[in-house]
Amino acid sequence: MKDTLHESDIVTTPPNALPTVPELSHLMVYLLKGVLYRNEEERLWSSLLRLQTQVREHTAVLWLDLVLDEAEGYAFLKSRPDPDAAEGSARPPRLIVRRALPYQVSLMLALLRKRMAESDARGGDPRLVLTREEIAELMRVFLPEATNEARLIDQLDTTIKRVVELGFLRPLPSPSSSTPNHNNYEVGRILKAFVDAQWLAEFDARLEAYHAVPSDDQDEPDTPPEAEGESGDA
């Protein structure tokens, strides 16, 4: 029996067969915190494409689904639908909190989604860029008439700021500066995943309902798009 271990006796593991736990962990933490965009994190995006099966297996344990759109270049985690109440299943706790959106935020998202659909139908540049004034005009048509123009502008700016925080609008820098000037905004393609075709198909009826509600009684639509925040208690 040979007692001496020679260098030639050592079995080496090919690099591509080594465990990818650190890489997978990095991906999971990033996705649990928010949206992964291809153009912002190219290395992580490549990792996700290679490890998406493992990511889906891990997120399923947490009652989450991976939403991955390779064409548009984004990925995020979404809570699974609640079990059917008729089945008597208890609702599992949510790791990612769902928050119903206020009326004006829901309205702005729907209007931006409709403008995106119109832009896509015309073809050309897939990027949709709107000025602050264009966004305000989209909203103004469906908002109650206000005697205080300054107050209306403040409300619109507050809504735009909230939509930016949600990640559906991105302020663009002016041509002469790298600092966002908050006069031009790019509409995020990820909006397509939150305001789906069914929601958009009922768009006109919903807007009529919005417009018919007195300003003091305005509330969220019956089934508004929902924003999913960072991980936390349900």
Taking the domain 100-228, which CATH number applies? 1.10.10
Query: Which sequence spans correspond to the domains of the chain?
Result: 15-92, 100-228
Instruction: Indicate yes or no: pTM above 0.75.
Output: no
**In this structure, what token pair is assigned to residue 157?**
């700016």
Non-local (6+) Cβ contacts of 100 within 8 A are 220, 224, 226
Task: Say whether pLDDT at 14 is over 60.
Answer: no
pLDDT in tens, 87-103: 556 666 666 666 678 88
Residue 102, Cβ neighbours under 10 Å: how many? 16
Topology agreement, domain 15-92 and domain 100-228:
yes
CA 103 to chain centre: 18
How far apart (Å, rounded) are the C-alpha atoms in residues 234 and 137? Answer: 37
Q: Which fold has domain 15-92?
A: Arc Repressor Mutant, subunit A (1.10.10)
pLDDT in tens, 124-165: 788 999 999 999 999 888 777 766 778 888 889 999 999 999
Provide the pLDDT for residue 216: 52
98 or 79, higher pLDDT: 79
> If we measure between CA atoms, which residue out of 191, 145, 151, 138 comes closest to residue 169?
191
What kind and span of H or E run contains 21?
helix 21-33
